[in-house]
Structure 1
Amino acid sequence: MDGRAELGAFLRSRRARIKPEDAGLARYGERRRVPGLRREELAQLAGVSVDYYVRFEQGRGETVSDTVIGSVATALALTGTERTHLFNLARAISPGPAVAPQRQRLRPGQQALLDSMTTTPAYVVGRRTDIIGFNALYAELLGSLATVPPAHRNTAWLVFLDDDVRGRYVNWESKARNVVAYLRMDAGRHPGDPALAALAEELTNRSEDFRRLWADHEVADRTHGGYSMRHPTAGDLTLNYESFQASDDPDLSLIAYSAEPGSPSHAALNALAEHAPLRY
């Protein structure tokens, strides 16, 4: 991916969502050709010259200090995750060769842990939303995971290009937005990852929904949340998930799902676990 283009697109997308009056700037009733803040207005709010900010947005600011980047982030009212993403993008354009990250693998002990979680759908996700490992109940919940080729065991690929998986999410749009936001975050952390660039290109070429969401430049980290899933025999299940980051690899996380004890979803999940194989 072009780091300079990514930085510029992210900054423009964040300028576009801020109204001048919300930032304490007068509009004087003039017509504006673009939504949100102009470059000169953002430069004023960040306390830098217009030329300095323009160079930064165009990716020509290799020597921009952390203080300036922080001032721009504050002026744009970025969230903590967005601020981290901005710093990642800014650092990625610094001189130096891009380094592709090493392949991630699951240790036997990690797979054994997954297999022991017989009543809890769980999987390990890595960079690019790659599914590094999973247990039988998660495969049963997702549907296509056990039979899909290993090269396509990737959450983004499945959510956008596998009709069976797409149909498993009651609110597919919410899941899709989250997945794209995770990919954007990864792109900032690893701008030299050719596999991520290839995945984004394939999804852009094959999915109109992905193109639409990718253009929003939203970013997010996995923490916790919930989805409503639809299983062909168990019916609809309301599930919560928690994310646990690996201590030796910050790009590797265990995601485990659960249902509210005593709820219909909990009963359905237990019934599903009884009929799921011990492992795939």
Structure 2
Amino acid sequence: MSHIFRHRAAPVLPRTPRLRPQKISPYFPKPLVDPDSCLPFPPINAPSFGLVQEQLAHDPFRLLIATIFLNRTRGGVALPVLFKVFDRFPTVEAMASTDPSTLASMIHCLGFQNQRAKKCIALAQTWLAFPPTKGKRYRKLHYPCKGDGRDIGADETIADDDARVGWEIAHLPGVGPYSLDSWRIFCRDEVRGLASDWRGLGASKTSFRPEWKSVLPQDKELRAYLTWMWLKEGWVWDRHTGERTPASERVMRAARRGGVAHEEDGNWVLEMSPVKKASNGLTAWS
């Protein structure tokens, strides 16, 4: 993507909320007209982008449960149910000991309730038996690249100094690419003791590079989030390759203002120009 700002008409309505506190994000209070192709883009100086993962970053177990709820389900539907489940099962132990039918009845409206309930309970049980630990990694076949994990045994664990590709949570049931991408972006640095949050706060080494900078997610909201994070540092990021190019001043002005964005060839384009009606009734762009 050569640039991220273009003169196009912005959709009138922003997307459904993704954070719990007000049930409606302060940046995007209404659904988008075309939510499959558009996404609200807060200004780069905003305190958060609006993903629920930001809220759960210091609670990796709940973050992974959230990814199970959000998989194949819109946030506006999944998140109210998710937080009711958290209220009902406030600890890993409570989730691990519940009956699948009890949890399934709570999440029936989301669909796939039996599969989701079994995954959540199995995840909690495995977490208690083998919690994610620094220096203990497991294989995830073909993640993030095809062939990764093939050189690691099914029950093998590898240390941090092992060059093979493995992940601290790859042994947990229900953990797929979306869960792994979310955990890597928001949780891995803290679990490994490299920083106190995903943005690098409290990093002990000046050479520290946050894990989020190495992730190439397939999920559109995670891609949008990383686009936003790279813009904070003055870069336009290509989600296909991970390559960066310096953002122009025009792009940075757009990023500082925020707006609505849509995906084009897998990358995000900010739409900032208002639509004006000409005297002849035709649409014009400013």
TM bucket by the smaller chain? under 0.3
TM-score normalised by structure 1 residue count:
0.24
* Larger helix percent: 1
- Return the structure number with greater relative CO, CA threshold 8 A, min gap 6: 2
TM-score normalised by structure 2 residue count:
0.24
Larger radius of gyration: 1
